[in-house]
Structure 1
């Protein structure tokens, strides 16, 4: 089956355009605080996951853009990063079993440093024009589950009040596109739309029919035969958490799209710029 995700990639690129416009507004309104510049790669060592549609988008353009020795170099770097992330996730899972709280575990994730496989010579991104949303917003104030974050190299001061981008709202929109994609291909994996993965895994993956759980059409003469045992569905990672603001929202849920397009203000707390 030929897989064409262009419809979903177009919708994803519309969201990319919104995010880029937000960043331009921050650069205009806070020129002394936004420190992003060519060669700065602090965000290229941060850990974060991609939604299904973003993973498919990165994978598609990577395989379209790279070949030969360059492709092998990226895949080797992705394999190395994937191994590091796997070890870290095992460590964090063990910590959760030992009773460590979510805040302590997330703080450890924030301190972890893994080089992105797309970071090339001269500390320049090999796929800058196709970089994920998280990369595009790294240098401005963001909030996850109501907690403020910003790049340690920026000029944004902890405790001050700034317009802040809700990453929860963006993730919700990414997950909505991913779920629609999963529904349209009639995946047998009910939680496919909730899948999250690091960029390194997205590069290495082969997103074929088997991976996506696409059912093969059964011949008519076999329609009367007993159905085969249903395969065990892979357990997908949990969906992105809903922010406290969304959980207590009294608005009609049909307005979520409008709310997602807005930024809001919070106070960045704590002694450092990550709000710790």
Structure 2
């Protein structure tokens, strides 16, 4: 894969990061990790382009580090997705976290970039759906700063559609970072 394929995604990620940082600054919020760490949340990702981009970053790591991450990813999947229909978050840390830091930070998916701050999503014909933000921000005591994620989701959908059409990839995915790594 060439960087040209990832250029629209990288530009969108840059816009997400800049907006997130601006809103976080408005709240005087700095994510320093916490007990309810989002890296321990059960997040599913839904785009092939993000999976391929994450794997692109993963494949740039040295073989020892990749092996350790894959072992952690396999353990994560085994514990999180047992042979029963019930899936629940066990608050297991994402397998790409080492010493509290994401080893694939520049390649992390959209939800990892946007999580934490109060936000809203708008669907045509409906009132915006608002999210409260993480507990660490103590956002309930602060006036809401508008953070509409809708344009980011719309742009991601366009990028994903073009990517899937170019590669003739039908269907959708619903995978955690751990699942993305073990299924490559």
Q: 2:9 aligns with which of 2, 9, 12?
A: 12
In the alignment, structure 1 residue 164 sits paired with structure 2 residue 147: yes
User: For residues 165 and 84 of structure 1, what CA distance do their matches in structure 2 show?
Assistant: 35
Q: What 5-or-longer segments of structure 2 have no aligned partner?
A: 123-128
CA 1:180/1:52 → structure 2, altered by over 3 Å: closer, same or farther? Answer: same
Is residue 118–residue 147 contact of structure 2 (8 Å, CA) maintained in 1?
A: yes
Corresponding residue of 2:20? 23
In the alignment, structure 1 residue 182 sits paired with structure 2 residue 164: yes
Corresponding residue of 2:58? 62
Is residue 117–residue 200 contact of structure 1 (8 Å, CA) maintained in 2?
A: yes
Is residue 132–residue 139 contact of structure 2 (8 Å, CA) maintained in 1?
A: no
TM-score between both structures, scaled by the size of structure 2:
0.81
Corresponding residue of 1:116? 94
Corresponding residue of 2:116? 139
CA 1:181/1:43 → structure 2, altered by over 3 Å: closer, same or farther? Answer: same
Is residue 54–residue 132 contact of structure 1 (8 Å, CA) maintained in 2?
A: yes
Corresponding residue of 1:105? none
User: For residues 89 and 161 of structure 1, what CA distance do their matches in structure 2 show?
Assistant: 41
Is residue 94–residue 178 contact of structure 2 (8 Å, CA) maintained in 1?
A: yes
TM-score between both structures, scaled by the size of structure 1:
0.56
Please show how residues 87-236 of structure 1 align to structure 2 within 5 Å.
87=82, 90-92=85-87, 112-121=90-99, 123-143=100-120, 146-157=129-140, 161-166=144-149, 169-187=151-169, 190-191=170-171, 194-206=172-184
RMSD (Å), alpha carbons:
2.7
Larger Rg: 1
